[in-house]
Structures are given as C-alpha cells and as structure tokens.
Structure 1
C-alpha cells in the first residue's frame, strides 16, 4: 500500500508523518469478517489497505514501533516520514493513519491544523500460486537441415499491465476498489514481473508518468535498461498517455538501435497517397488511432553464451506493440499489423537477425491480423476483409510477408506425453493458441502473443497458462491476486543456425 499526499499550493510544501494505530489486543489478528468484508482497505481510491513485498521503500522510516503515543484507548506508533509508505508484515491487522501539514515556504511554520487520512486494517497481500515454467521439446519442430550453434538461452515476457486511466470502477465493478487502485496494483505487478526474472520485458498500456516514476526506476534496481514509446495522442483525460515499454537486462544485452512506429504518421501518408480528396477527412478519422510500436535491436554481451560460436556479432530484434482495440475497425487492426510487419521485413533484409514480435494485438486467433502474423498471408475469402470502406486492404494479394513467424505458445501443441495434456487442454484446438489471455466480465479470449522467427530461434520453455476456473473464483480479471485484465506470457528461446529463409 502507498499513501500519497499532493498539495496544489506552489509556495508551500507538506510535512508528512505516518503513524500506525493499534486497536487493543484484538488488533493483532485479522478476523474472518474483516478479510471477507467488501470494504476492506481504504475508501479513498488513492489509498490501499494491503501489505506487499514489492521493493518499494518507505523513505526515512522511523524505527518500527518505537515509543507509542496514547490517545484514549488507542496507541499510535510512528513508522515513517515520507510521502509514500508500503505496509509491512508487522502492520497486518493494524490501522494506518497518514498525517500531513502544510508549511509556509518562508517562515517554515505550519499553516492551519494537520490533516489526516485513515485506512481500514491492513490485510496480507494476496499471493496466488506462482506460475511454473514448463520445458517443451525444443527440437520437435526444427527441420533436419538446421543445427544448434549456441548453448545460451534467453527469456522474453509480454504483458499488458492495464493502465490506471483504463481501470475504472464501473468497468471492473467486480474487483474490490482497494485491489483496483494503482498504488496496490503497481506493487503487485512489480512483484509478479520481478519474480519472472525475464531477460527481456515487453509491457503495454504503460502510462508515461508510471514509466518515468515507477517502472523504469524500480526495474533499474533489478538490472534492467529500458526504452519507452508513448502513444501519439492523449487518452482518457488530461495529458496522461500510455504506451509500450521494453526492458532488457544490462548484463545480457546492449542497446544497438531503436525504431519507433507511429501508425498515425503512416495513416497520414497512406491517406495522402491513396484516398481521394473528398474522402481524406473521413479516412483520417477512421485510420488515426494513436497506436504505436517500439522496435529495439539488441546485441548480446561479449562474455555471454548467446554470442555465436564463431565470434560473430549476435543481434536480436524485439518488436513491442499495442494494436487498436475497437472490434468493429477490423480494417484498421489489419492495416496496423501489416504496416508493422512490412517495417520488420525491411529490418530483416538489412541484417540476418532473429526476431520477436510481442504485444497486445487486440485480435483473436483466426482473425485476419492473426492469420497474417501466423501464416504470412490472409485468405482473400476471410470474412474480416469485408470490412474495408476505404479500400486500404486491396488488392488482397498484398497482405503477405516473408518473416518465418511462429507463435511461441503453439509449441505446447507440438509436445508429446501425458505430462503436457493439461497444458494442451488450455489451447484452442483449431489455432493452437491459448484459450485466453484476457478474462473480464464480458470477454474471454486471446489477444496477446509472442511470435518468433523459427529459422533462427527455437522455444525451450513456456510459462504455464492459467485455467479459467481458478480465475473465476474472483469473478474475472483484474482481481486481488492478478492486477491486470490480461495475463503475462513468457517464453524461453535458444538461438539456432539457419540454412533456410523460407516460411515455416
């Protein structure tokens, strides 16, 4: 939990005091009725009443439970003096009070009386069963003319973390307000992400302020360098904008080059070149949707095992994107994916580089964008192609690419043995994709993918998928245990030598 105080007076600053309230003998434990109460936590959406193990600091915290201050039947202990405070295990069962005063910047004297905010009793942070890493038969889908050239592997994570601006109580009414609050969710998300210990992390729906103030500095502590590409127009309110953030371990990779894909600019160029003057305004209104992609070229460190046995420079290209969400704009989704893939093709022709294409594509398995990614083309009779009022998808023969992309999670379908049957049951039999990567009150389906170039990479392991029944115990996502409406995907890859550049 984090308690925040913001003052709006430019010439004044606040002095804060954190205190913990002990409610007699009974406060040392949390009773069942407190845990099951619907109003557990604080009513203010900025405050959360749950302890967490995330690596957030409590500033210049005072010694825990030093001399207490009695107030009638209550005893208060000061536990910190900063604008943020993360409850600890010692706080469970107790109440936290945030006390702050406005101080005149010139005289340093308090202005008016101190103000306070008070939480309900702190409860333990929910801890869902950790997801396991499942080893798959990495050689099962390799051609005989290919051989392994490196003993090193790396892991890549893709995760839509659900921005604060999108996490409304109306949309996710089934999630307790304290569990939906950003101060709680950010700690839970950080704990989950850090526990995966991925070498490369692709996050979507990261607000620019959250990237700068939280994700970048916190993951920096764990050895990650980061890059961020925010969307090109405002979303939701004010100047809060979300985007795509890519992190990689400094001890394993170095940054070589970055490409930023702004679909707005591509839409403007397309409209100028193809759309009649009378239709340009309508075309821009339909195509300009602020989505972006961040493409990062990395180089493995010289002392890392991923370097080619012959000493050749080993590069890796990682694309991270968030495709437009509106389901009725099927043409826009497909056009965005096609635009990204054509850009990646240009990069591929300039260097023989393994590629990952990660993100929230807002497209279900079997849709036209998914077909283009997974099959390299879209059948001209595909029903999605009937939605094309601007004729931007014609001729349909142009909807192709030559990248040998394969969905990482389809590797589960190619494994043999009883041990994998449970994981296969969590796949769609027709597409070999997960049954879902997002579960909300009105949607269950797969929107997120990790694609890789199968001529240069092979899947070694996958993060296990979740079963819907376990998630439904909390109605849907997000929940106290899982702090996004999406689940994380993670795959372990091994570099391999390619003798063929053809698809699949």
Structure 2
C-alpha cells in the first residue's frame, strides 16, 4: 500500500467518518485567506525536512451551509470505545502513577509519512481560514547553529484545550461552536505539530490521548506517556472522552528512555489534583542525558499559594531525579540538563515563577529571550473572552538549565492583529493557548567541565 493510502487508512481508522462536507458555515472575509493556508517553520533535524517547512496548498471554495454537528462530534461513541479498550490494557500504569512505567509499546499501525499526513490535515482543513504565519526567531546575539555531533533539539510546549472543556465548560463566547468541533480541530492541532516536527512534545489538557494522539504519534515514530488528573473536570461534561491530563512524546530515533516518573503534585503535604511526568532521556547522537518534565498547575486566581506549593514540590522531585540520574552517569558531578514545560497558570509576578527562576537547578525561561533585554516574558501566551470578561495572560513556559543548554531559536508570538478580535480559540487557532517552541543545544563547555 502506498504512503498516501496508508495515511488515509490510518486517519479513517482513528478519526471521524465525517469529512469537510459535514461542517457548518465558516465566516467570509479577509481571515479566509483565499491565497491558501500558509505555515512556516523548520522541520526537526531527523525528519527529513529542510528549508522553511511545508507551504500548504490553496484552500477550496467558500463553504456552503450543512447539517449541524453534534457537540462532541459524530464519532464520540466509537472514540470512547477505543479509549476504554486501550485504558483497560494500560490500567496497571494508570492505576499506580507513582511507579516508573516502561516506554509505551509500539502500536500495530502502518508507518506514516509525515509530509503526506500533513497534506491529509490540509485537505481536511481546506475551508478553514489560514493560520497566520509564525516565524522562527534567533535570540539576540545568536545565529543558526548546526553541528553534526551536537544537533539542536526541538521542544514544543502546548496546552491544546481539552475537547470536553472547550465545548462543554469553558464558555468561549466569541468562538463559534463549530470552530471547536473535534472532527476538524484535531487536524488543526496535528497540522501545527507536523509543521514544526518537534523532537520532544509536551502537552496539557489531553483528553483524546488513546484514540488520537498515542496511535498517530506512534505511527510517526514517537514514544508517548500520559498521566490523567486524579479528578478531571472533563468528567462533568456529558459525552466526554475521559479525563484530561499531561502527555509527553519523544522521537525514538533521537532518544532512548533511561527512567520515568509519574507524579501527583502535593501542597502542604496534601496530594492535589495536578500531575507531572518526568523522563530522563539519552540522546542517541551525543550520548548525553536530558531530563524533561511536563506539568499543568492549578488554575484561576485565588490559588496562588497552592500553585507555589505545587511548584516547590515539583522542584524537589526534579532535584532528586536529576541527582539520581547524575549518579548513574560516568561522573557523579555531570550536569544533567533539564527542560520543564508547562501551563503554570501563573503570571511572572507570582511566587511559583520566582521559585523556578531562582531555583538551585539553574533554570531560565526560554521565551524571555524574545525580548530586547532578554529578561521579559511575552505579553501573553493565552488570550480569551469568557462570560466573565476578556483575559490576556502569560501562563505557559519552557524552562531550561541555562548553564548546560543554549536556546538557538524560538517560535515567535502572534500579534494582536494576527490573533483577531475574537481572540482564542478560533477557526485558525485550535486552543485558547498558543504553542511555544524552541530549539536547544547542549553546551559544549558544560560537558567538557564535567567529563
């Protein structure tokens, strides 16, 4: 079977039976971008992509009115069935999150060509307006960095918006309901991932892990891990797809797994509803260790002290894990570089941010490097309108060990004009949070000092 047929078969297996013809009407106007959907970005170093990334072909004609779509999508029952089967097979690791689970086994799925799958996404999104172009920017004082023996590592951080929350709980009053329809929104999420092709992908609010992300990402050459919240608000929504949680994927051609921990974060000695996944990886190119964590802290104002305590608990666990990983290496003094991705639900003014920036782990926030002084976070990483009003906040971060890693480039933040007056989510932004992405490299001097 040729790659195109394999991709179609995979998506038909995993995704809805309904196609673009089953969608509602989309708004006309400048946002429709008749010139076509256009994304920019440089592919990952081992995905066979060079240059400025794929240019998506022109979109189709204006949509016509269509039959309404059920709020949770036409295939919600089959998705739940697939999810139930897979969760039963993986129940031991989910029931005991304190254990160190093995790598997720390879699925019996056809290998998928990422370029072809990107075109499949493009075809499914023909009638959606184009997502505004985002450029990869080199921080001030740096430039492109390419070494065969030390290639850059691409990291993507994204709260993708749980489907049950988006349609049933969050109340995005300026976002049309059909823009949140999972049968197309999932293609928009996957399109962004495939455009930039990270080596490591950290996600929050994942409630379609088993029926969508795990099989698709496995077919693209990733190993994944998922940890649901002990009690997920998604379960309050009728026709939900199960609990939401954090997920992490890494490309197995680039990394192997040394150890992993699934954590339930505590505050004041009490367990909370927030979780984290921590994995220590071995880079197959350099042989060096890299510890990666993903988390999602408590949301909403009034919970600042709880977030601070959750951050302190996570930092303590990271110190223990990186110390343990270091003792397993050739030299006990080896610096284990650390990357922490997450939706912290905290502005830079909060105590939990200060905890991370002043930690003994030597962490710095990558997105500060977009500013002219290298010390200021972006003005926003999420911008939404709910019944309570409009909120524009910086809540999402990629932290890295600055004395062991260097940031080579970052994906820029869309302007207010690019986001549009209705804010996030929308027809061209699938989540109420923006994806963050950076390329990091191992510092040679840090390795020489400790080797």
TM-score normalised by the chain length of structure 2: 0.67
2:299 corresponds to: 325
Aligned pairs (5 A) from 1:10-29: none
Aligned pairs (5 A) from 1:4-403: 42-47=68-73, 124-137=127-140, 151-168=150-167, 171-207=171-207, 210-237=208-235, 240-263=242-265, 266-267=266-267, 270-271=268-269, 288-301=271-284, 304=285, 307=286, 313-350=287-324, 351=326, 352-374=335-357, 376=358, 401-403=359-361
Matched, 1:457 2:405: yes
SS of match in other structure, 1:289:
strand
SS of match in other structure, 1:246:
strand
Q: 1:260, 1:21 → 2: CA distance?
A: 42
Deviations 1:301-330 (A, max 9, x none): 1xx2xx1xxxxx411000100000031011
Q: Once the 2 structures are TM-superposed, how far is the Cα of residue 355 of structure 1 from its aligned partner?
A: 0.4
Matched, 1:486 2:444: no
Q: 1:90, 1:495 → 2: CA distance?
A: 35
1:167–1:316 Cα change, 3 Å: same
Q: 2:134, 2:20 → 1: CA distance?
A: 34
Does the 8 Å contact 2:121/2:191 carry over to 1?
no
Q: 2:120, 2:423 → 1: CA distance?
A: 27
1:407–1:90 Cα change, 3 Å: closer
Does the 8 Å contact 1:408/1:452 carry over to 2?
yes
1:237–1:347 Cα change, 3 Å: closer
SS of match in other structure, 2:190:
helix
Q: Once the 2 structures are TM-superposed, how far is the Cα of residue 413 of structure 1 from its aligned partner?
A: 2.8
1:496 corresponds to: 443
Q: Once the 2 structures are TM-superposed, how far is the Cα of residue 436 of structure 1 from its aligned partner?
A: 0.3
1:480–1:373 Cα change, 3 Å: same
Does the 8 Å contact 1:35/1:123 carry over to 2?
no
Q: Once the 2 structures are TM-superposed, how far is the Cα of residue 89 of structure 1 from its aligned partner?
A: 11
Does the 8 Å contact 1:228/1:243 carry over to 2?
yes
Q: Once the 2 structures are TM-superposed, how far is the Cα of residue 88 of structure 1 from its aligned partner?
A: 7.9
Greater CA radius of gyration, 1 or 2? Answer: 1
Q: Once the 2 structures are TM-superposed, how far is the Cα of residue 177 of structure 1 from its aligned partner?
A: 1.3
1:151–1:231 Cα change, 3 Å: same
Q: Once the 2 structures are TM-superposed, how far is the Cα of residue 446 of structure 1 from its aligned partner?
A: 0.4
1:150–1:294 Cα change, 3 Å: same
Aligned residues: 338
Does the 8 Å contact 2:122/2:191 carry over to 1?
no
1:435–1:355 Cα change, 3 Å: same
TM-score normalised by the chain length of structure 1: 0.60
Q: Once the 2 structures are TM-superposed, how far is the Cα of residue 220 of structure 1 from its aligned partner?
A: 1.7
1:448–1:230 Cα change, 3 Å: same
Q: Which has the higher strand share?
A: 1
Q: 1:89, 1:342 → 2: CA distance?
A: 41
2:4 corresponds to: none
Runs of 4+ residues over 4 Å off in structure 1:
16-22, 30-37, 87-92, 137-140
Alignment root-mean-square deviation, CA = 3.7
1:299–1:237 Cα change, 3 Å: same
Q: Which has the higher helix share?
A: 2
Does the 8 Å contact 2:159/2:435 carry over to 1?
yes
Deviations 1:122-144 (A, max 9, x none): 9613221331111224669xxxx
